C-alpha cells in the first residue's frame, strides 16, 4: 500500500510522540499491516538518530556571550553596547547571578542575611547552572554514584530516585549555596528541559506550585526532614508530574 | 518596569538560551559571523521587549525573536528567491520508494545512518529556509510541535507538513548512493 501525504504526516507525528494515545494506537495497527510504513519509519528514525549524534552542539562564543551580557549592564553603556567590551570584573558585578562561577561566587552574590526570597534565589541558582558549561558538579545517571558523592560533602544527603522509566533521567548533582548553607541539588532532565531539585531543611507540609518567576516553574513539597524545591522551564503540569513521580519513587536502599 | 528589573529578567530569561539562539541563527544564516550579528540584534530586541514577556516558555520566546531577526537579516542580505515562502503544493513531492521488498533489509536506512557531518549539513542546508528551520527546531533543538508552531507563527498542521517534507527530502539526499 502506497503512503499518502497524510500518512506521512501521521507517521512523523507518531515517531515524534505527538499523537494522542487513541490515534497512536490506531496508527500502530496500520504500521503493523504495512511494510512500506515500517520501512519509512526506519528511515526517519535513522535520520533522527544521525542528526542527534553527528551534528555538533553549537555554542555561543565567549565573545558573543560577553557582548550580549553587556546589554544588561547599567546605563549609560547600553546605548554603546556594540563597542562595549567591558572587563569581566565590571560585568560580574552587574550581572552577578549570570556570571557567578561556582559556589563561592554565588555565596557572595546572595550574601549572608540576604533578604531575597528563597524562590528567587533558587531560580537564580538554576539559571546559573544552565549557563555554566555543566549543569552539575557530578555527572552521572547512576544514583549509586550521585548519592555517595553528596554523602562525602554534606551532613544531609537527599533521596536520589531513579525516574528514567517515567521519562526523567538523572543527569547528576551539584551543591548550591543558599544564604550561608551549602545544599544538595539533583539535576534531572525531561526531554530538552533541565530540572533542578534542591533539598533544604524541612519548612512546611504539603505540595505547592508557586507562581512562576521569569518563565520558570517551581513546585515545593516536604518529605520527612527535607523540603524539596523543583525548578524548571518545564510546563507546570509536567513539573507536578515529576514531583509526584519523585515522591512515589523508591529511594536508594 | 525599571531598568534594574529589566536587567534581572534579561539575565534570567534570555541568557540561558544563548546557545540555542546562536544555533538557530547559524542554521538560518548559514555561517557563524552572520549568526553572531543576528543573535546580537535579537538580544537587543529581547532586552527592549523584556517587559512584554508574559512568562511561560522563555526559550520559545527567545527563539521567536531570533528567528524574526534572522529572517530580517536574510531579507536584507540574500536574494528574495532564497527566502520566498514556498507554496507547499508547488514544492515537488518527495518520492521515497514504497518498496516492500526491502523490508527488514533497508539499504537506505543504513546509508542514512552512515552519513557524516559534512554530508548531513549539506543536505539540511540545501532545504528551503522554512523547511530547514522547522527541521532544526525539531531534530536539533528538540522542541515539540506546539512550540515550533508558536515560534514559526503557523498552525500545527503546517509544522507537520513542513517537517514531513523536510525529513523526506533529506532522506532522499542521504539515501542516494553516491
Share of chain B above pLDDT 70, in %: 81
Q: What is the pLDDT of residue B105?
A: 63
As a whole number of angstroms, the distance between CA A103 and CA A105 comes to: 5
Residues 63-92 of B with CB under 8 A from A: none
The reply to whether the predicted model has a pTM over 0.80 is no
B53 and A215: CB-CB below 8 Å?
yes
Q: What pLDDT does residue A128 have?
A: 82
A184, pLDDT greater than 70: yes
- Cβ A50–B113 below 8 Å, yes or no? yes
Q: How far is A239 from chain B (nearest CA, A)?
A: 13
Say if the ipTM goes beyond 0.85: no
A124 touches B: beta carbon within 8 Å:
yes
Q: What is the DSSP letter of B136?
A: I
Q: State the Cα–Cα distance between residues A69 and A139, nearest whole angstrom.
A: 27
* B84/chain A closest Cα distance in angstroms: 23
User: Does the structure show a pLDDT above 80 at B27?
Assistant: yes
**Cβ–Cβ gap B57/A233 under 8 Å:** yes
Please list, residue by residue across A73-85, b when 16 or more beta carbons sit within 10 angstroms of its beta carbon and e when fewer do. Answer: beeeebeebeebe
What are A111-138's pLDDT values in tens digits? 334 456 888 888 888 888 887 766 788 8
When pLDDT is averaged across residues A136-153 and rounded to a whole number, the result is 83
**pLDDT tens-digit series, residues A59-110:** 999 989 988 888 776 544 333 333 333 333 344 343 333 333 333 333 333 3
Q: Cα Rg for chain A, rounded, in angstroms?
A: 22
Taking CA–CA distances from B23, the nearest residue in chain A reads A58
Q: Looking at chain B from residue 97 to 156, which residues have their Cβ under 8 Å from any Cβ of chain A? A: 98-100, 102-103, 106, 108-110, 112-113, 115-117, 120-121, 138-145
pLDDT in tens, A14-64: 999 998 888 888 999 999 988 889 999 999 999 999 998 888 878 999 989
Architecture of the structural domain at A96-248: 2-Layer Sandwich (3.30)
Mutate to test the interface with A, among B3, B17, B70, B113 (most CBs of A within 10 A): B113
Whether residue A76 has a cis bond before it, omega within 30° of 0: yes
**Which pairs with CB-CB distance under 8 Å and at least 24 residues apart come from B166-169?**
B166/B127, B166/B131, B166/B132, B166/B134, B166/B135, B167/A12, B167/A44, B167/A47, B167/B135, B167/B139, B168/A8, B168/B94, B168/B96, B169/B94, B169/B123, B169/B127, B169/B131
- The more confident residue out of B173 and B97 is B173
Q: Are B156 and A34 in contact (CB under 8 A)?
A: no
For B93-132, write each residue's pLDDT tens digit. Answer: 444 444 433 444 678 888 888 888 889 999 999 999 889 9
pLDDT in tens, A149-165: 888 788 777 889 999 98
Q: Give the pLDDT confidence score for residue A81 in this predicted structure.
A: 34
Could you give the domains of chain B?
3-82 (1.10.1740.10), 94-175 (1.10.10.10)
For residue B160, the chain A residues in CB contact (below 8 A) are: 9, 12-13, 18
Which residues between 36 and 65 in chain A have a beta carbon less than 8 angstroms from any beta carbon of chain B?
36, 38-40, 42-52, 54-61, 64-65
| Domain edges within chain A | 5-54, 60-94, 96-248
- Higher-pLDDT residue of B36, B177: B36
User: Is the CB of A39 less than 8 angstroms away from the CB of B139?
Assistant: no
Burial label for A93, CB within 10 Å (0-12, 13-18, 19+), is: middle
B44 exposed, middle or buried (CB, 10 Å; 0-12, 13-18, 19+)? middle
Residue A119: per-residue pLDDT: 86
Amino acid at each position: 500500500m502506497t503512503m499518502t501525504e497524510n500518512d506521512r504526516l501521521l507517521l512523523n507525528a507518531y515517531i515524534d510522540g505527538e499523537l494522542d494515545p487513541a490515534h497512536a494506537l490506531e496508527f500502530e495497527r496500520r504500521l503493523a499491516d504495512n511494510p512500506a510504513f515500517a520501512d519509512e519509519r526506519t528511515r526517519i528514525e535513522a535520520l533522527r538518530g544521525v542528526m542527534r549524534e553527528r551534528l555538533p552542539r553549537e555554542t555561543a562564543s565567549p565573545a558573543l556571550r560577553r557582548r550580549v551580557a553587556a546589554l544588561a549592564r547599567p546605563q549609560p553603556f547600553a546605548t554603546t553596547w556594540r563597542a562595549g567590551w567591558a572587563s569581566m570584573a565590571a560585568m560580574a558585578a552587574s550581572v552577578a547571578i549570570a556570571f557567578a562561577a561556582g559556589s563561592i561566587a554565588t555565596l557572595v552574590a546572595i550574601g549572608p542575611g540576604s533578604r531575597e526570597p528563597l524562590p528567587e534565589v533558587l531560580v537564580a541558582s538554576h539559571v546559573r547552572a544552565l549557563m555554566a558549561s555543566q549543569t552539575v558538579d557530578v555527572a552521572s545517571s547512576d544514583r549509586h554514584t550521585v548519592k555517595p558523592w553528596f554523602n562525602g560533602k554534606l551532613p544531609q544527603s537527599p533521596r536520589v530516585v531513579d525516574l528514567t522509566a517515567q521519562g526523567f533521567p538523572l543527569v547528576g548533582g551539584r551543591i548550591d549555596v543558599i544564604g550561608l548553607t551549602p545544599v544538595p541539588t539533583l539535576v534531572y532532565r525531561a526531554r530538552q528541559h533541565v530540572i533542578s531539585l534542591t533539598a533544604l531543611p524541612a519548612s512546611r507540609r504539603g505540595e505547592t506550585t508557586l507562581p512562576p518567576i521569569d518563565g520558570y516553574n517551581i513546585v515545593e513539597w516536604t518529605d520527612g526532614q527535607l523540603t524539596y524545591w523543583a525548578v524548571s522551564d518545564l510546563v507546570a503540569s509536567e513539573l507536578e508530574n515529576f514531583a509526584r513521580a519523585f515522591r512515589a519513587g523508591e529511594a536508594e536502599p | 518596569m525599571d531598568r534594574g528589573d529589566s536587567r534581572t529578567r534579561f539575565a534570567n530569561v534570555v541568557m540561558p538560551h544563548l546557545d540555542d539562539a546562536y544555533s538557530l541563527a547559524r542554521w538560518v544564516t548559514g555561517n557563524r559571523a552572520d549568526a553572531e550579528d543576528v543573535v546580537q540584534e535579537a538580544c537587543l530586541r529581547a532586552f527592549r521587549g523584556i517587559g512584554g514577556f508574559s512568562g511561560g516558555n522563555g526559550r520559545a520566546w527567545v527563539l521567536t525573536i531570533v528567528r524574526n531577526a534572522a529572517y530580517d537579516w536574510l531579507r536584507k542580505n540574500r536574494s528574495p528567491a532564497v527566502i520566498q515562502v514556498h507554496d507547499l503544493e508547488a514544492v515537488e513531492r518527495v518520492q521515497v520508494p514504497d518498496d516492500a521488498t526491502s523490508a527488514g533489509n533497508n539499504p537506505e536506512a543504513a546509508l542514512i545512518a552512515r552519513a557524516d557531518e559534512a554530508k548531513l549539513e549539506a543536505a539540511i542546508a540545501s532545504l528551503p529556509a522554512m523547511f530547514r528551520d522547522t527541521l532544526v527546531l525539531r531534530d536539533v533543538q528538540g522542541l515539540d510541535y506546539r512550540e515550533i508552531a508558536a515560534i514559526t507563527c503557523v498552525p500545527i498542521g503546517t509544522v507537520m507538513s513542513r517537517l514531513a517534507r523536510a525529513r523526506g527530502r533529506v532522506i532522499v539526499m542521504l539515501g542516494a548512493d553516491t
